[in-house]
Amino acid sequence: MKTFNKILLGIGLVSLTYSCTDLEEDLVGDLTTDFTVDGVTNQSFSGSAFTVSDGLTSAFGALRGTGTAGHGGYFSVQSVSSDEMAVTQKGGDWYDGGIWLDIHRHTQTAANGPIKDTWNGGYNAIAQVNNSIENGNLDANLTAQAKVLRAYLHWRLLDLYGRIRYVDENGASAQLSRSAGFARIEGEILSALGVASVSAAMDLSGSALTKGDVKYRINQFAALGILAKLYLNAEVYTGTARWQEAHDAADYIISNGSYRLSDSSVSVPNPSKRPAVSSDAESLTGYAAVFSPANYDNPEIIWSVEYDEATAGGMNFHQMSLHYASQFTYLFQDQPWNGYSALEEFYNSYEDGDARKDANFIIGAQTDFGGSVVVDLASDTQDPAITYSASINELEPNAGRTDGARLGKFSFKNFARPDLDNDYPIVRLGDVYLMRAEAKARVAGDWSMAAADVNTVRARAGVSALGSITADSFLAERGREMFMESSRRSDLIRFGKWNSTWWEKTNSDAYRIVMPIPADAIQNSNGALTQNQGY
């Protein structure tokens, strides 16, 4: 192990520790002194990532504790309940009392552990934001950011659970109707933007938020991105559509921001390139670069959650998805868990040649770090060589140990620790293009109006333009672009597909467009919370 120390002005002593092996060279660049970027001070650059140090470090860091990009919380509940993926029971592995089977089949109850953990994680993060507002000695900009972050966290709870309590530095509200919760979230973000409403003619010059491009903090464009998500689902939440506001929020970002799609001009080294395997790509380019371990400054990302293998853990997609023996493919520090896999129909929705298909999934024969075949030593099949197939034989009780394409969108590096370095985008330009496209089509009542933005996104993926678009084809396109970004559940509900049948899921109880409020939360609320209808 080697350790380098250097004084960073305004921060103090910073230690950078890294290891080198014969197979891994870690070039440690110049550690710079403190500097200002886009109006934000106390940023350090270590050669691999920016880290922002201010009065909201703990508040933004709390997003990691909600399961934003890891097993067991927000990501899991949002994704496993959709038609994107499942956690299959492989004999004695992954039954876990049936919690993942229930979430996938829409038979979950108020006692379900991940649903409870997601609720608690959201409110714990909100408490951290409120603590920063009360005790962080924040200036106007940081206060505005904190309030938008708080509103965003409440939006995730509103979307999942429906009737929530809004908790600010003055305490908790009564349990709100979904419409009232929507209004509270909208009002807090609009206040931070310094406007009474979103429109094409809005003037944001009075906002305490800046336009500075600092990925781990909220600027005007990030706040508008959250509003666009809120307005896109307004009809589900309140019964009243807000398509025009969704369009105007997204359009403002595209028209006024400095962001651009990560296209062929954006390329980063492939961290999982094995020296002895010539077929491994040298670089990750375009769409794949958005989600790489070096995505901290990707030009498409507007706001992201910082993850770091040593100091900001919580992203463990490689552990969640890959077969145990895939440890030898990348020489991971720990053995993966062999849990999550993509559904066959979802995987097959991509056409060959789509760059997103190659980036999003790991499929086919697996080899070790030197290129030799990897085998499943516990397999009772005639050929124990590990080959990930698109098909899955069953959800339970004996799903195939190598069945299902694995989650590869957030690429991982050789020698990875149990936590990954990739930052997780919350607002990015590809999503904003699709939000503008959908809102424009819905305002006009004509899906052809979405064609320009949809085809912009498809062009980046290397697939041909769509000549015509319907609601169904748009939803499919959005699914291909947004896989693993925790939007599929909300999208299916908005498009009226949530109660449809998909692999191993037939339940269509209408009330399940929201999750049950955890039984423990109701029990501990002294009557302040009541259960959602049907549960």
Express each pLDDT in 412-462 by its tens digit: 999 999 999 999 999 999 999 999 999 999 999 999 999 999 999 999 999
d(CA 529, CA 162): 12
pLDDT of 64 over the 60 cut: yes
Domain boundary assignment for the chain: 2-53
pLDDT of 2 over the 50 cut: no
d(CA 80, CA 489): 9
Averaged pLDDT for residues 82-96: 97
Cis? peptide before 397, omega within 30° of 0: yes
Q: Which amino acid is at 439?
A: A
Give per-residue pLDDT as tens, 495-507.
Answer: 999 999 999 999 9
So what's the pLDDT on residue 383? 80
So what's the pLDDT on residue 50? 62
How many other CB atoms are found less than 10 A from the CB of residue 288? 24
Confidence of residue 308 (pLDDT cuts 50, 70, 90): very high
Three-state DSSP class for 426?
strand
Distance of CA 481 to the CA centre of its chain: 12
pLDDT of 66 over the 50 cut: yes
d(CA 327, CA 369): 9
pLDDT of 509 over the 80 cut: yes
Give per-residue pLDDT as tens, 290-300.
Answer: 999 999 999 99
Averaged pLDDT for residues 134-154: 97
Q: 255: exposed, middle or buried (C-beta count within 10 Å: 0-12, 13-18, 19+)?
A: exposed
As a whole-number percent, the residues of the chain with pLDDT over 70 amount to 91
Instruction: Mention every residue, 6+ apart, whose C-beta is less than 8 A from residue 496.
Output: none
CA neighbor of 90 nearest in space, from 103, 100, 104, 76: 100
pLDDT of 525 over the 60 cut: yes
pLDDT of 88 over the 70 cut: yes
Confidence of residue 52 (pLDDT cuts 50, 70, 90): confident
Strand boundaries in 213-356, DSSP class E? 267-269, 283-285, 301-305, 340-342
DSSP codes, 104-132: HHT---TT-HHHHHHHHHHHHHHHHHHHH
So what's the pLDDT on residue 28? 28
pLDDT of 17 over the 80 cut: no
Confidence of residue 23 (pLDDT cuts 50, 70, 90): very low
So what's the pLDDT on residue 411? 97
Q: 278: exposed, middle or buried (C-beta count within 10 Å: 0-12, 13-18, 19+)?
A: exposed
pLDDT of 232 over the 80 cut: yes
